[in-house]
Chains A and B, each alone.
Chain A
Amino acid sequence: GESVGLHLPTLSVQEGDNSIINCAYSNSASDYFIWYKQESGKGPQFIIDIRSNMDKRQGQRVTVLLNKTVKHLSLQIAATQPGDSAVYFCAEKAYGQNFVFGPGTRLSVLP
């Protein structure tokens, strides 16, 4: 289940550095957001979510920041590891509507 987006934006980071992946969403009514990770040969995997009544949420080595004013979402990965190499994409959801997915960013971790 790999992402086949040959022309995805790519972020290259050194192993051990922090990564920041950004996502602009479109619907001001969206009140729930998810970050997914998709590794080569696999389907998308849930990483972390956040509701619109929050502006920050932390997980294990990951933090999601939400700026509703500019409709911007970011995913921060601390101490990036080779296993973090994947395509990351955000998804937004408004009440009563289905998820809308972003195009994705390819994260490449350099040794």
Chain B
Amino acid sequence: GDSVTQTEGLVTLTEGLPVMLNCTYQTIYSNPFLFWYVQHLNESPRLLLKSFTDNKRTEHQGFHATLHKSSSSFHLQKSSAQLSDSALYYCALSDRYNQGKLIFGQGTKLSIKP
């Protein structure tokens, strides 16, 4: 079946350093839609960014990700971490033509230290 894998459960970084959270997926969909959701403490998850175009960089709120179908990856990056980036990040997958149903990864907790 379809699945999303986030290999890091916890990533701890010092403020100002670059961020990279890994996301790989498996799917039967020929046109997958990939998402990153962010969940801050005591809040519900909200959409951070999304993409369905192969090899095209998508950006939002300082974060960026590029869907690479050849490697089934959609890693989340940011050039310089801020304390406010500390949160739980979920990578998710859907069929482009059935975008509502999302399959989520296990989540990566990002902790930024001063």
A, B: real partners: no
Chain A residues proximal to chain B, CB less than 8 Å? none
Chain B residues proximal to chain A, CB less than 8 Å? none
